[in-house]
A and B are shown apart, each in its own frame.
Chain A
């Protein structure tokens, strides 16, 4: 069973804006899944369809094995909305108690305290939501999403209002959740968050999925520029090499060293290195040019940083 499986989910808002277009995604149980995309890409709309806030125009989905329109799909689910507020006159622990009742789970005062501690709201249980800053509200939102130890947690921009410490704490929290076997579906435009914790990612823009796969593949898969630092590269070796990689370029530093720049898939690297080594070239370093998620993100969206 997949934690989430969408089949062509589509949303056209009244007024004609297509926020999501035939989205097929699948999220494995127990993984941290990051949905990336620029503002207005349709990330929030997709999550809202999954939790029943937005009625899809077409398509369907299964959440935790149930058709997503059934209440059963939401029994084991925690959700942190992107923009939200809790009733300002409630105390933090009352918000948790209310959500526990809505979720139909028993919750002791000790569990509430533990939950607040977990999101960095230690000792603030009897303060009213009114007095919470945006960041504190977001922490409380995380605690609410974790009420009842759900099997699947959907977080829409969970760190947008948090300070760097808060972000770090959230990334630890997410790893803790993964260790417990909880599936996390995370929406973010803050790529560093995603880069730290996600197992899989999907990239959407304009309501379409541009990429779905493991974070490793996103970062290291596909053909990309690599810089290869070598010594002992002769003209003959280079011209042989150049026949196999016509787009490759080289720069000699005049002291016996050289840097080859070549566009190649990660899977082709061992072959290239073997070829160099066989020709007596000493390889010092092979570095992919696009090494951060941000660069990958920009290049995928057609905004190559170079």
Chain B
């Protein structure tokens, strides 16, 4: 398992995927930094600094939400399927190694990469924002809770993509998981819109269903609420409309996220175990 884990890490480096994604992310953070510098802070409007700080933090976090999902799909999408297609696994599996350990090794190795990515992106955005506008985003506990939600978001996407790669082709897998993440986002947006404008329970149900399908969006909204909720600045989150978190998912979503990851991982182990190569 360690060998497989090590190998998938080496592989990520060799493929220059990590380098490319890391470079682009660095570029994004640099642009974010320059942008905030350039926008600057008008000195004499009371409360404006606070609002600007929250707005740009919110924009940055939304970018992080999308980029973490994309990155997780990207590094996991070809894990098993491509290695089946090109015959790499044919030489590996007959070694005295369990298939479950191959899955676990790849999952741990690549998840470390995904988590490192989420960490850099999340704290990069928060710190750049705070450097410009001061501490606007709640206390340390809120910050860590939001960080945890972003990590879970990345792991949810990563693990579903790993499952997909044991079941279907690389291309189909990429399309299916990306679509699911997008649908969850639209469902979440509808739910927030409903919470703002229309008391009909249909909106809540839609949010629930898409959140259960894949809890990426729910985790993102929870993270958002940790940082921008009413306890931080009353009304801030309403301004974001369907992109905000007026009705934030509770603690339960974190447990669901963890269960979801464990379940998907077990399904991946099972489906790879029964597969003929």
Residues of A within 8 A of B94 (CB): 51-53, 74, 77, 79
Residues of B within 8 A of A104 (CB): 96
- Complexed CA–CA distance, A98 and B3 (Å): 8
- Complexed CA–CA distance, A102 and B96 (Å): 7
A144→B91 contact, CB < 8 A: yes
Knowing A84-B87, A85-B88, say if A74 contacts B11 (CB, 8 Å): no
Residue on B nearest A103 in the bound complex, by CB? B95
Among the interface residues A48, A52, A72, A74, which one has the most CB atoms of the partner chain B within 10 A?
Answer: A52
A102→B87 contact, CB < 8 A: no
- Complexed CA–CA distance, A141 and B92 (Å): 12
Residue on B nearest A13 in the bound complex, by CB? B276
Q: How many residues of B contact A (CB 8 A)?
A: 20
Query: Which one, A71, A87, A101, A141, contacts B98 given CB within 8 A?
Result: A71
Asked if A75 CB lies within 8 Å of chain B CBs, one says yes
Residues of B within 8 A of A168 (CB): none
Residues of A within 8 A of B95 (CB): 74, 99, 102-103
Residue on B nearest A102 in the bound complex, by CB? B95
B276→A53 contact, CB < 8 A: yes
Query: Which one, A54, A85, A87, A141, contacts B11 given CB within 8 A?
Result: A87
Asked if A252 CB lies within 8 Å of chain B CBs, one says no
A52→B91 contact, CB < 8 A: no
- Complexed CA–CA distance, A79 and B32 (Å): 52
Residues of B within 8 A of A98 (CB): 3, 7
Residue on A nearest B13 in the bound complex, by CB? A89
Among the interface residues B7, B96, B277, which one has the most CB atoms of the partner chain A within 10 A?
Answer: B96
A75→B96 contact, CB < 8 A: yes
Knowing A72-B96, A101-B3, say if A81 contacts B91 (CB, 8 Å): yes
Residue on A nearest B102 in the bound complex, by CB? A102
Asked if B86 CB lies within 8 Å of chain A CBs, one says yes
**B163 → chain A closest CB, angstroms:** 19
- Complexed CA–CA distance, A99 and B88 (Å): 12
B93→A53 contact, CB < 8 A: yes
**A136 → chain B closest CB, angstroms:** 15
- Complexed CA–CA distance, A156 and B97 (Å): 21
**B54 → chain A closest CB, angstroms:** 45
**B40 → chain A closest CB, angstroms:** 46
Residues of B within 8 A of A175 (CB): none
Asked if A86 CB lies within 8 Å of chain B CBs, one says yes
Asked if A278 CB lies within 8 Å of chain B CBs, one says no
- Complexed CA–CA distance, A144 and B87 (Å): 14
- Complexed CA–CA distance, A71 and B95 (Å): 8
- Complexed CA–CA distance, A181 and B94 (Å): 21
- Complexed CA–CA distance, A270 and B146 (Å): 91
Residues of A within 8 A of B96 (CB): 71-72, 74-75, 102-104
Asked if A55 CB lies within 8 Å of chain B CBs, one says yes
- Complexed CA–CA distance, A99 and B97 (Å): 11
Residue on B nearest A156 in the bound complex, by CB? B90
Query: Which one, B15, B93, B97, contacts A89 given CB within 8 A?
Result: B15
B97→A53 contact, CB < 8 A: no
Asked if B43 CB lies within 8 Å of chain A CBs, one says no
Residues of B within 8 A of A81 (CB): 87, 90-91
A102→B277 contact, CB < 8 A: no
Residues of B within 8 A of A84 (CB): 87-88, 90-91
A55→B92 contact, CB < 8 A: no
Residues of B within 8 A of A102 (CB): 3, 92, 95-97
- Assuming A52-B93, A84-B87, what are 11 further A-B pairs, CB within 8 angstroms? A51-B93, A54-B277, A74-B96, A79-B94, A85-B86, A90-B14, A98-B3, A99-B91, A102-B3, A102-B97, A141-B91
A interface residue numbers (CB < 8 A to B):
13-14, 48, 51-55, 71-72, 74-75, 77, 79, 81, 83-87, 89-90, 98-99, 101-104, 141, 144
4 A-B pairs closest in CB distance: A51-B94, A84-B87, A81-B90, A102-B95
Contacts A/B (CB < 8 Å), 23 sampled: A48-B277, A53-B90, A53-B94, A53-B276, A54-B276, A54-B277, A71-B96, A71-B97, A71-B98, A72-B96, A74-B96, A81-B87, A81-B90, A85-B86, A85-B87, A87-B88, A89-B14, A89-B15, A99-B95, A101-B3, A103-B96, A104-B96, A144-B91
